[in-house]
Amino acid sequence: MLDAPEERAAEERAAEERPAEERAPEERPAAAAADPVAPPPARRAPLRRTAAPDPRSAGGRALRAALAAYARDDYVDAARQLTKLARVGNAEAQYRLGFLYAQGKGVLGNLGDAIVWYRRAAEQGHVEAQYQLSLAYFFGGHAHFEVGRWYETSAEIDKTTADRNLELMFPNGIGVLQDHAEALRWSIAAAEQGHVEAQARTGTMYARGFGCETDYEAARRWYLLAAEQGDASAEFGLGVLHANGFGVGIDLPAAARWYEKSAAKGYADAQLALGLMCASGAGMERDPERAVLLFRQAADAGNPRARHNLALHLVRGDGVPQNLVMAETYFRQAARQSYTPAMVQLGRMYSLGQGTAQSESEAALWYRAAAEAGDAEAQFMIAALHARGDGVPKRLVDAARWFEKAAEQGHATAQFNIGVFYRDGSGVERDPARAVEWFGRAADQGLAVAQANLGKLYLSGDGVPQDAKAAARLLARAAEAGDPDAETTLGILFLQGHGVDHDPAAAEELFRLAAERGYAPAWFQLGNFYSEDRGSGTNPSEAARCYRGAAEAGHLASQLIIARNHLAGIWGPRDEAAAAAWFRRAAEAGHAGAQFQLATMYCTAAGVPKDLDAAVAWYRRAAEQGERIAQYNLAVMLVRGDGVEPDPEEALNWYRKAAEQGVPEAQIALGDFYATGRGVAVDCDEARRWFDKAAGQGHEGAAARLAALARLQAQQVQGQQPANAPAPQTGPQRAGSGS
C-alpha cells in the first residue's frame, strides 16, 4: 500500500538561507543570527550611566549606601533606599530599582513596575536602562515570580476578581506587551551612546526586520560598530551577511573570517557556522576534523544544532572515528532541548538499533514528539509506523492524518502516500479527486512514482477526466526519471497505440529498461511480447526466459504461466514435477488457483507423491479463499474420509458454499443431503430446489434425481415405504484449473 519511507536528510529546516550553493546535505551554516536571547538584566558591572551623581553629594552618598545594602544581600533595605532616590529623579537609582523589580529582590517581582523605572531612567539617557527596556519590549511577557503565579492561579478561579485585585495592587501591571518597534527605538538610543550589546542587537533587528523593514545596510553599519568593540555576536552577524549576500556580495572567505573571530571568543553560533563551512568545504578546503572540533566546542556550550551535527559526524565517522553510542548521546541531548531534527535522528537510531537497543516503540515516541512540534519528516515517519503497525497500533486513520500533515508542509513522499490513501480509501473516505490533487503536488516536485500514479489515474479517468495523452506525458516524465512502473505502463501504451503512436520497438525497449531494474511486471510484459506473433513469428525460448525472470522475482501470473506450460508441455516435454514446483511457489504466496492445482496434483500423484493429507490442506486453503471447485472437492474428501477424518457436517457446509457459487455437482450433493436427511432434517422441497438448479445447468443426473424425488413423495402420500431414494453423491474429485 505504501512506498517504503524515503530516507531524507534530517538537518534543520530553518528559515535561514544557505551561505553557498554547495553544502553537505545535512550541514548548513546558520545564515541569519539566531533569535536574540535576553541576557540577565544589568548583568555587567560597573554599570554605565550618562550622569552619575557626585559621590560627595548627599545623593551620591545615599546611592552608595543603597548599593552597599545590595552588596550584602540586604535587598529590602536596598529597595527602600533606591525608591527614595528614584522618586526624586535619580536615574541610576531608577535603573537599579527597575532591576530589583525585574529580579524580584527586595520587592514583589513584576515586570510592570520594572518597566516604569527603566523608562524613567531611560528617558534621562541612562544607557543601561535603555538597553534593558529594549529587551523587555522585545520579549514581552511578565517576570515569572510569585505575583505572576498568584495572578494566574486566581484568574483560573475568578478572572474578574483577579483582574480587579491586580489593578488595585499593581497599577502598572505585572508585564509588558511585546512591541518590536518600541524595542528597536530604545535599542537605537542605547546603541547611539556606544552600548556595544545594543549596537549588535540593533544590527540583528534590522537584519531580521524586527520592528522595522529589513535593512541589511543598516544592520551592517551597527554590526561593524559593535565588532570594532570586539562583540562576538556582531562578528557573527557580519559573517551571516557575507555568507548570504545580505546587503553585500556573497563572500564566503569574508564570512569565514568573521565567524573565525566570533568563534575564537567562544560564541557558539559562530563555532557552529564555521564548523558547517569546514564540513562542507564552503569558502575553504573541506576540513571535517576541524568541523568536529568546532561542533564539539559549540555542543559543550549547549548549542543543540551543534550537538546534532557532531552526532551526524560520529554516525558517519567523518573527521572522527565512528561512535554510534556517543552519537546517540549527542542526539539525545539535542532532542531534550526540543531540537526536532535530533528527535528524528534519535527515532531513526532506535528504529535501526544503532548505538542503542532496537526499539520501534521508543522510535515512535521520538518521532511523535518531533511530529507534534511540526517537523514534516517526523510526521511522515510516525505516519509510516501507524501504517505498518511498527511500535504503535496499526491505525490507518492515524497514518492518514500524519501523512496529510506532512504533505501540507510539502513533504513529497507524504503527498504521494496520502494520495494513495485517498485513491484506495485507506484511513479516509475514498476520494479520487483528492488523490489526483496530492499526486499532482508530489509530481510537481519531481517524484517519479507520483507522476506514474497520476498518469494511471488519467488513463482510467478516476478522479479526473480520462485523457490518454496526458497520461502518456506524465508516464514519460516518470520513465525518464527511471521509474520502472512508468516505463512498463508507457510500454503498454506504445504497444496499444493508446495516447501515443503504435510503436512495438519502443515498447520492447521500455519493457527491457524496466526489467533490467529488476521490475517483475516488466519481465512479464516481455514474456507476453515474445509469446505473440508480430509478423516475424514468436520467440518461445526468449518468452520462457522472461517469464522465468518475473517468476523468480515473485510475479504470480508468471509463475502460473510457467507451471501450466510445463504441465501442457508447451516449451518442451511435459514436466509435471516442474509444474508442481511452480504451482507450490504461487500457492505459498496465497494464489487460490495454484493452491487448488497443487491439491489436485497431490490427489493424483502428478509430479509429486500421492499425499491426501497435503491435498486436503491445500484444498482447504483454496476453499477458504472462495475457490468453488476446491470447496466441492474438500467436501467430497470430508465425506469419504480421504486424508482426513470423515466429517459430514463440515462437508455439508462446503457443499453449500460451492453450490451457492453454481457448482452443479455440489448442488446435486446438497440436494441428496436434504432428500435423505443426512446431517439435516429431510426436506424434499429444499432437495428439489437444488436439483432444479443443477438441472438448469444441464447436469445429467439432475433429471433422474428429480424423478426419484417425485416418486418418493408420491409413495409418502400413499403411505408406502420409500424405495430407490436418491443416494448422496460422493463422486471423484474434480481436477481442473480452478476459478
- Other beta carbons within 10 Å of 1: 12
Q: Is residue 494 part of a domain?
A: no
Compute the distance between CA of residue 515 and CA of residue 555 in angstroms, rounded to an integer: 12
Compute the distance between CA of residue 347 and CA of residue 328 in angstroms, rounded to an integer: 10
User: Which carries the bigger pLDDT value, residue 617 or residue 110?
Assistant: 617
Compute the distance between CA of residue 467 and CA of residue 458 in angstroms, rounded to an integer: 5
Q: Is residue 447 part of a domain?
A: no
User: Which carries the bigger pLDDT value, residue 11 or residue 433?
Assistant: 433
Q: Which of 72-81, 156-165, 474-483, 598-607 has the lowest mean pLDDT?
A: 156-165
pLDDT for residue 18? 30
Is residue 725 scored above 90 in pLDDT?
no
Nearest by Cα to 267 from 312, 317, 303: 303
pLDDT for residue 736? 41
Q: Quote the percentage of the chain above a pLDDT of 70.
A: 85
pLDDT for residue 176? 80
pLDDT for residue 220? 98
User: Which carries the bigger pLDDT value, residue 16 or residue 336?
Assistant: 336
Q: Is residue 623 part of a domain?
A: yes
Compute the distance between CA of residue 217 and CA of residue 207 in angstroms, rounded to an integer: 8
What mean pLDDT do residues 606-621 have?
Answer: 97
pLDDT for residue 134? 96
CA distances from 690 to 308, 364, 378, 607, 662 (A): 74, 57, 60, 37, 10
Nearest by Cα to 183 from 97, 246, 238, 115: 115
Q: Which three cell numbers stand for residue 271?
A: 563555532
- The alpha carbon dihedral of 671, 675, 678, 682 has a sign of positive
User: Which carries the bigger pLDDT value, residue 611 or residue 721?
Assistant: 611
Q: Label residue 693 by pLDDT band (50, 70, 90).
A: very high
- Whether the Cβ atoms of residue 234 and residue 226 lie closer than 8 Å to each other: yes
What mean pLDDT do residues 552-572 have?
Answer: 95
Is residue 201 scored above 80 in pLDDT?
yes
Q: Is residue 675 part of a domain?
A: yes
CA dihedral 210, 214, 215, 221 (to 10 degrees): 30
What mean pLDDT do residues 477-496 have?
Answer: 98
pLDDT for residue 173? 54
Total domains, the chain: 1
Q: pLDDT tens digits, residue range 411-430?
A: 999 999 999 999 999 999 99
Q: Which residues are registered as beta bridge partners of 173?
A: none
Q: Label residue 559 by pLDDT band (50, 70, 90).
A: very high
Is residue 17 scored above 60 in pLDDT?
no
Q: Is residue 649 part of a domain?
A: yes
- Other beta carbons within 10 Å of 250: 16
Is residue 197 scored above 70 in pLDDT?
yes
Q: Which residue has the cell 466441492?
A: 632
Average pLDDT over all residues of the chain: 88
Q: Which three cell numbers stand for residue 668?
A: 446435486
pTM of the model: 0.74
Is residue 10 scored above 50 in pLDDT?
no
Which DSSP letter does residue 17 get? P
pLDDT for residue 534? 75
What mean pLDDT do residues 131-143 have?
Answer: 86
pLDDT for residue 562? 97
Q: pLDDT tens digits, residue range 19-72?
A: 333 333 333 333 333 333 333 333 333 334 445 555 556 678 999 999 999 999
Q: Which DSSP string do the residues of 511-578 spell out, in sequence order?
A: HHHHHHTT-HHHHHHHHHHHHS-SSS---HHHHHHHHHHHHHTT-HHHHHHHHHHHHHTTTSS--HHH
Q: pLDDT tens digits, residue range 625-665?
A: 999 999 999 999 999 999 999 999 999 999 999 999 999 99
Q: Is residue 611 part of a domain?
A: yes
Is residue 11 scored above 70 in pLDDT?
no
Q: Label residue 493 by pLDDT band (50, 70, 90).
A: very high
Q: Label residue 111 by pLDDT band (50, 70, 90).
A: confident
Which DSSP letter does residue 55 get? T
pLDDT for residue 153? 73
Q: Which residues are within 8 A (CB) of 377 and not within 5 positions of it... i.e. 6 or more apart?
A: 8, 10, 341, 344, 370, 406, 411
- Other beta carbons within 10 Å of 22: 9
Nearest by Cα to 674 from 623, 638, 666: 666
CA distances from 632 to 231, 558, 639, 645 (A): 89, 27, 11, 17
Q: What is the CATH number of the domain that holds 596?
A: 1.25.40.10
Q: pLDDT tens digits, residue range 284-342?
A: 999 999 999 999 999 999 999 999 999 999 999 999 999 999 999 999 999 999 999 99
Helix axes 376-388, 396-408, angle to 10 degrees: 160
Q: Which DSSP string do the residues of 107-151 spell out, in sequence order?
A: S---HHHHHHHHHHHHHTT-HHHHHHHHHHHHH-EE--SHHHHHH
Is residue 142 scored above 70 in pLDDT?
no
Q: Is residue 94 part of a domain?
A: no
Is residue 392 scored above 90 in pLDDT?
yes
The residue range of the domain holding 648 is 584-718
Q: Label residue 252 by pLDDT band (50, 70, 90).
A: very high
Q: Which of 3-17, 316-330, 429-443, 585-599 has the lowest mean pLDDT?
A: 3-17
Q: Is residue 691 part of a domain?
A: yes
